[in-house]
Amino acid sequence: MLLVSPMPSVYTLKQSPYSSHMLLLGLLDPKLQGPKLLDVGCGNGFLSGLLAAKGFAVTGIEHPLGFDENPPAIVHDLEQPLPPLPGPFDVIVIGDVLEHLRRPQDLLEQLRPHLVPHGMIVSSLPNSGNLYFRLQVLFGNFPEDDKGLFDRTHLHFWMLANWKALFDRSGYTFEVAAVTGIPVGLAIPSLQWLEVLCYHWARVWKTLFAYQFLTVAKRKS
């Protein structure tokens, strides 16, 4: 998770089989997509490590204030022009990052030449169209939380159409590959069954019930 403050990240590896991290891992296979992978906003590298264990050759890039220890291969402020990268890459992962950037389009445009012709960007993106988000706003609430849909460090509170438009403007095709439901079990482990139910609701009606979209983007021809 990319942070722009000096506080350590409050985000950790989500190990539920219905979480964005585990679903993302399920989407990626170095034998299918190719082995070279860039993890943008890699934090302390908890996801990079799992990707490397799957057989990817992972390069991590993170803001200098976004990790506590084990610095990534490249330390860089993602609001600034990208430094030289050891690409091109078969896969670029952008997990829980774009909503924190002032100009996410700039980053996406800069990443295009670092993808192989048939490479892909895999992103996890929050859904501000989620029913929970809508109800909070309907009743006059706009929390400032440490993480989640109302994370106080989010700069964009977008729905699916907004995310699709961003990637389209940046020169990519875009599709939703998977969704997550509200991670109830993360807060209350005894309600894991409800998290499973939220996940299946999200698959049926993603614009209303999805907590996050896991998306695949490819360079336009």
One digit per residue, the tens of pLDDT, for the chain of length 221 reads: 232 222 334 456 666 788 888 999 999 999 999 999 999 998 888 899 999 999 999 999 988 777 666 666 898 999 999 999 998 999 999 999 999 999 999 999 999 999 999 999 999 999 999 999 999 999 999 999 999 999 999 999 999 999 999 999 999 999 999 999 998 766 667 777 788 899 999 999 999 999 999 999 999 98
Give CA–CA dist 124/99, Å, rounded. 10
**Preceding peptide of 8 cis, ω within 30°:** no
Tokens of 115: 């993808």
* Helix or strand holding residue 91 (H, E): strand 89-95
Task: Identify whether the C-beta of residue 127 lies closer than 8 Å to the C-beta of residue 160.
Answer: yes
Determine the Cα angle at 146 with ends 141 and 149, to 5°: 55
Domains and CATH numbers, the chain: 20-219 (3.40.50.150)
Nearest residue to 118 (alpha-carbon basis) of 94, 89, 93, 95:
89
